[in-house]
Structure 1
């Protein structure tokens, strides 16, 4: 059986597509939500170890943890809601800037200037035994900041 260049390339492309399909199927099976406990949550540490009115970046968890003046916690995504670029902190305003398209957010993650049209996503926070547990698997899209979004320890 003689294999010309066209048939060879066609078979390689089919093999690559089949392998990619297997990875997609495997990935969707692994993402099935099972009953899981705190072991699947990101442990940020003891609530008492965070100072009021300070911002703490957790790049491995892909969120900023902010403790406000009143002691409330908010875990905000590091991804801009415009196109997903990683936002930077703005030490002058206490908010965030997107380096890609210049969106600006205030200290609550609310939009100050476009092109972003909604605030930074937040992650649910649970407090167990004084530890802050952040569920980074479930970002919460929001239209604006509301004091009920804060978690108190």
Structure 2
């Protein structure tokens, strides 16, 4: 088999493009894998600065933080589980209302009226040195409220 200059350059170009494509694909796969495991901890502030039974909206973190009578904290997503609209806190009931399709949630984030079919998602909380750190990278779906979803100081 005889190589001329044109064939050699074509094959060299194809080999270089193949190697570059391999490294691009490998890099994007490993970046995606690292980003999935990455925690995004949002510092909500000192635990003792939050009143009981009052929702605190954190729009940049995309959650409501609530402290219950027993001192437990929960961080619930501000997104309605129906179509992702931003829910609003209801001062009268202590729950949440979706302005788009009228879903209502109680103070635990459980559905009171449809079209939403499941409670608001919640985020894991850790408390370090009195600071509330909310992991906004992992919203957790749930079927109902459970005391195990609360975090205590």
Same fold (TM over 0.5): yes
Aligned twin of 2:31: 29
TM-score of the two chains, using structure 2 as the length reference? 0.77
Larger Rg: 2
What stretches of structure 2 of length at least 5 have no aligned partner?
A: 1-23
Question: How many residues are paired up?
Answer: 128
SS of match in other structure, 1:117:
coil
What stretches of structure 1 of length at least 5 have no aligned partner?
A: 1-21
Cα pair 2:54 2:94 within 8 Å, conserved: no
Structure 1's consecutive aligned runs of 4 or more residues displaced over 6 angstroms after TM superposition are none
Q: What's the CA shift for 1:52?
A: 1.4
- Flag the 1:97–1:74 CA change in 2: closer, same or farther, 3 A: same
- Flag the 1:144–1:35 CA change in 2: closer, same or farther, 3 A: closer
CA distances 1:35-61 after superposition (whole Å, capped 9, x unpaired): 757xx3000011011111211110000
Q: What's the CA shift for 1:33?
A: 3.9
TM-score of the two chains, using structure 1 as the length reference? 0.77
User: CA separation in 1, counterparts of 2:29 and 2:53?
Assistant: 39
- Flag the 1:129–1:144 CA change in 2: closer, same or farther, 3 A: same
CA distances 1:76-122 after superposition (whole Å, capped 9, x unpaired): 00000000000011111000000111100000000000000000000
RMSD of aligned alpha carbons: 2.2
User: CA separation in 2, counterparts of 1:73 and 1:85?
Assistant: 23
